[in-house]
A and B are shown apart, each in its own frame.
Chain A
Amino acid sequence: MTVAAGLGYALLALGPSLSLFVSVISKKPFLILTVLSSTLLWLMSLIALSGAWRAFLPLKTTRWWPYAILVITSVVFQEGLRVLFWKVYKKLEDILDSFADRVSKPRLFLTDKMQIALAGGLGHGVAHAVFFCLSLLTPAFGPATFYVDRCPQMPFFLISAIISLGFVTIHTFSMVIAFNGFAEGKRMHQVFVPGVHLAAALVTLINLSSGGCMVGIPILYFLVALTLIYCGNMVWKRLTEDRSRRH
Chain B
Amino acid sequence: MDSSSVLSTIGTDIISVMSPVSICMLLVVFLVYSLSPASPNNNGTSLRTAATLVYLETPSDTATQKLEGALLNALVFVVLISAVTFMLVLLYYYNFTSFLKNYMRFSAFFVLASMGGSIFLSIIEHFSVPIDGFTCFVLIVNFTVVGVLSVFSPGIPIFVRQSYMVVLGIIVATWFTKLPEWTTWVLLVALAVYDLVAVLVPGGPLKMLVELASSRDEELPALIYEARPTISRNAERGGELGVFVGMGSGSVELQPVQHNDNVGENGGSSDQNFRARGSDNESEDEETSPLVANSVQRPVTSGGNSHHSQPDERLFGSVSSEIVEEETSPLVNGASSGSRAVERRRSRRDGGDHDSDIGMTMKAGIKLGLGDFVFYSVLVGRAAMYDLMTVYACYLAIISGLGCTLILLSVCQRALPALPISITLGVIFYFLTRLLMEPFVVGTSTNLLMF
- Which residues of A are in contact with B by a Cβ distance under 8 Å? 27-33, 36-37, 39-40, 43, 46-47, 49-51, 53-54, 57-59, 67, 70-71, 74-75, 78, 91-92, 95-96, 98-106, 108-109, 111-112, 115-116, 128, 130-138, 148, 150-151, 156, 159-160, 163-164, 167, 197, 200-201, 204-205, 207-208, 213, 216
Contacts and interface: CB of A to CB of B under 8 A. Distances in A.
Interface string B254-265: 000000000000
B11 A32 contact: yes
A20 to B, nearest CB: 16
Interface of B: 1-2, 4-12, 14-15, 18, 236, 239, 242-243, 246-247, 303-304, 307, 339, 342-343, 387-389, 392-393, 396-397, 399-400, 403, 429, 432-433, 436-437, 439-451
B400 A70 contact: no
B388 A150 contact: no
A204 B448 contact: yes
Nearest to A137: B388
Contacts of A51: 432, 436
B179 to A, nearest CB: 23
A160 B6 contact: no
Nearest to B10: A30
Contacts of B236: 103
Contact of A160 (B243, B304, B437, B445): B445
23 contacts: A27-B8, A29-B10, A32-B15, A36-B399, A50-B439, A54-B440, A57-B440, A57-B443, A58-B439, A67-B444, A71-B449, A99-B10, A99-B242, A102-B303, A105-B5, A112-B5, A132-B444, A134-B392, A135-B389, A159-B448, A163-B448, A204-B448, A204-B451
B444 A70 contact: yes
Given A47-B437, A131-B441, A151 B339 contact: no
A133 to B, nearest CB: 7
Contacts, number: 185
Given A33-B403, A36-B403, A128-B450, A112 B2 contact: yes
Contacts of A29: 8-12, 14-15
A121 B85 CA distance: 45
Nearest to B448: A207
B14 A33 contact: yes
Contact of B8 (A28, A98, A130, A133): A28
Contacts of B442: 136
Which interface residue of A103, A111, A133, A201 has the most chain B CB atoms within 10 A?
A103
A67 B451 CA distance: 11
Contacts of B342: 103-104
Given A105-B6, A136-B442, A150 B448 contact: yes
Given A104-B339, A163-B450, A131 B389 contact: yes
B23 to A, nearest CB: 14
Contacts of B8: 27-30
B449 A99 contact: no
A160 B14 CA distance: 34
Contact of A131 (B1, B243, B392): B392
A134 B245 CA distance: 36
Nearest to A123: B396
A46 B396 CA distance: 13
B228 to A, nearest CB: 16
A96 B243 contact: yes
B37 to A, nearest CB: 10
